[in-house]
């Protein structure tokens, strides 16, 4: 969502709907896993989803997401608490503890 009057913004939510003769089933899905919907996510969300599979260079991230390398590098710098730069310039997800 882009606006919330009574709380913080929530991440995009997707559902897989299965229609059967006697019932309709709803199953939650990650929007980033659906190619037709993933393009509507922010570049930050798409980078985070991509890096769940492991660290990559900014140029490889840009190629995979069909984004400009400068845009990817700018997001990595902006969200330095979410991403970590490893040896060799590869970028990974920063560990978060609760």
The whole-model pTM stands at: 0.74
| Domain count along the chain | 2
Q: Quote the pLDDT of residue 40.
A: 82
Q: Annotate 19-49 with b (16+ C-beta within 10 A) or e (fewer).
A: eeeeeeeeeeeebbeeeeebeebebebbbbb
DSSP E strands in 7-53: the ranges are 14-19, 24-29
Do residue 54 and residue 31 come from a single domain?
A: no
Do residue 54 and residue 96 come from a single domain?
A: yes
In terms of residues, how long is the chain?
Answer: 98
Instruction: Using the 3D structure, point to which of 9, 26, 41 is the last residue of a domain.
Output: 41
Domain containing 91 equals 42-98
pLDDT in tens, 16-42: 899 999 999 999 988 887 778 887 888
């Amino acid at each position: 969502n882009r606006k919330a009057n009574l709380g913080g913004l929530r991440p995009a939510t997707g559902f897989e709907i299965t229609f059967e003769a006697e019932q309709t089933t709803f199953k939650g899905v990650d929007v980033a896993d659906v190619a037709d919907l993933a393009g509507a996510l922010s570049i930050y969300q798409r980078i985070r989803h991509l890096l769940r599979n492991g660290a990559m260079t900014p140029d490889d991230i840009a190629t995979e997401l069909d984004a400009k390398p400068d845009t990817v590098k700018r997001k990595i710098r902006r969200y330095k608490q979410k991403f970590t730069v490893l040896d060799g310039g590869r970028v990974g997800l920063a560990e978060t503890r609760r």
